Amino acid sequence: MWLFSNSQKGSISKDLVPFMKNHLTEETRKAILDIKEAMLHLPIPYASIFIYQAVLEFGIRHVDEFLQWTKHHSTTVPFHWQPTIANI
């Protein structure tokens, strides 16, 4: 899990709970865990929240897709992802 301070601009962990509850399935959980496991073996720093975002909002399912996704999406902190109402 990840934590953000209350003073952070953008999402904080509690704001993402409804989105997560609605979008975490066996398939998305497996994809998140598989990507996290694969990333442990690569010399690439990352914050796991970006894996959640890639999987849940963009349909990423494999580490190769995630690595491609990171080339076109910001993966720096501070983190500003706020899932749209349509996705909640």
The tokens for 5 are: 């301070």
- ∠ at Cα 70 (67, 75), nearest 5°? 130
Question: Is the pTM value of this prediction over 0.85?
Answer: no
Beta-carbon contacts of residue 1 (< 8 Å; ≥ 6 apart): 13
Reported as a single tens digit per residue, the pLDDT across 2-48 is: 555 555 555 556 777 788 888 899 999 999 999 999 999 999 888 88
The torsion region of residue 10 among left (phi > 0), alpha (psi -120 to 50) and beta comes to: left
- ∠ at Cα 25 (21, 20), nearest 5°? 25
